[in-house]
Amino acid sequence: MMIDTHCHLSKEDYEDVEKIIKNMENNIMIVSTASPSEIDEIIELCNQHDNIFGTIGIHPEFADTYTKEDLVKLESALKNPKIVGIGEIGLDYHYTKENKEIQKELFITQIKLANKYNKTLVIHSRDAIEDTYNIIREYKNENIKCNMHCYSGSLEMAKKFIKLGVVLGIGGVLTFKNEKKLKEIVSSLDMENFILETDSPYLTPEPFRGHKNEPANIKYVAAKISQLKGIEYTKVLEITTQNAIRQFDLNTKL
Ligand code: NI
């Protein structure tokens, strides 16, 4: 079994979402929100499919535009047992640093919700790794699990996150020819620190880079890890599946 711990399956992303889901039969997907307006869509997917779980949250790109109602809606949806995490949330200074303080406030508010409802944190961090680290260290309760979605920091920072109990989401970037940093991280650290993700429809792994991504492509990420670490492919799936089940307390009946 494979678990794609982070993907987006919005009707806006795919013409035929059901076909994409069918390609992951007997495997598990954790669908993440990219926008507060997608919460209902995610709940519906979770209700319709045993092998789909969800994480919901308000992404930093909405820091200036989210409403109080969005937060109320988010909090009430967290009571659904198939919503296993809050995310993707975090900090993104790539396009603007001007609203840093507003981004931090939204991030902290949602970490407090994770603490309150015992949900796993799924973190988006772009050009903001130090601030992300400091906020997680200060505000996350010790028992709350946390993943760095599509980790893109240094090996040194990865080790600091791991000390906080954080697990790294590894996706298609690992297969890119010019990517060195992530390969070094995967080669250096133990398998217990990794979960697999596609971030579909984005970040398609080789050999399909340039095409639209889908959760079934998770196998190419697993194959690359197998090659880099010299561990059997089936063993990579087995370990990362166990890591993901533990990370999200998944109640899988598959
Ligand atoms: Ni994503």
CATH code of residue 215: 3.20.20.140
Distance 6 CA to ligand 1 centre (A): 6
pTM of the entire structure?
0.96
Q: Is the dihedral of CA 125, 115, 71, 46 positive or negative?
A: positive
> Residue 253 falls within a domain, yes or no?
no
Segment 34-50 shows an average pLDDT of 93
Segment 24-47 shows an average pLDDT of 94
In the predicted structure, residue 124 carries a pLDDT above the cut 90: yes
> Residue 254 falls within a domain, yes or no?
no
In the predicted structure, residue 114 carries a pLDDT above the cut 90: yes
Segment 100-111 shows an average pLDDT of 98
Instruction: Encode pLDDT of 149-207 as tens digits.
Output: 999 999 999 999 999 999 999 999 999 999 999 999 999 999 999 999 999 999 999 99
Distance 221 CA to ligand 1 centre (A): 16
Distance 49 CA to ligand 1 centre (A): 20
The average confidence (pLDDT) of the chain is 96
Distance 7 CA to ligand 1 centre (A): 6
- Give residue 15's identity as a one-letter amino acid code: E
175, 220 contact by CB (below 8 A): yes
Distance 200 CA to ligand 1 centre (A): 7
What pLDDT sits at residue 122? 98
Q: How many domains does the chain have?
A: 1
Distance 72 CA to ligand 1 centre (A): 22
> Residue 77 falls within a domain, yes or no?
yes
In the predicted structure, residue 34 carries a pLDDT above the cut 90: no
The two beta strands, 146-148 and 3-7, are unpaired
237, 1 contact by CB (below 8 A): yes
> Residue 39 falls within a domain, yes or no?
yes
> Residue 219 falls within a domain, yes or no?
yes
What pLDDT sits at residue 2? 97
In the predicted structure, residue 253 carries a pLDDT above the cut 80: no
What pLDDT sits at residue 254? 54
Distance 227 CA to ligand 1 centre (A): 25
> Residue 133 falls within a domain, yes or no?
yes
How far apart are alpha carbons 6 and 61 in whole angstroms? 18
> Residue 117 falls within a domain, yes or no?
yes
Distance 79 CA to ligand 1 centre (A): 22
Domain that holds residue 143: 3-248
- Give residue 51's identity as a one-letter amino acid code: N
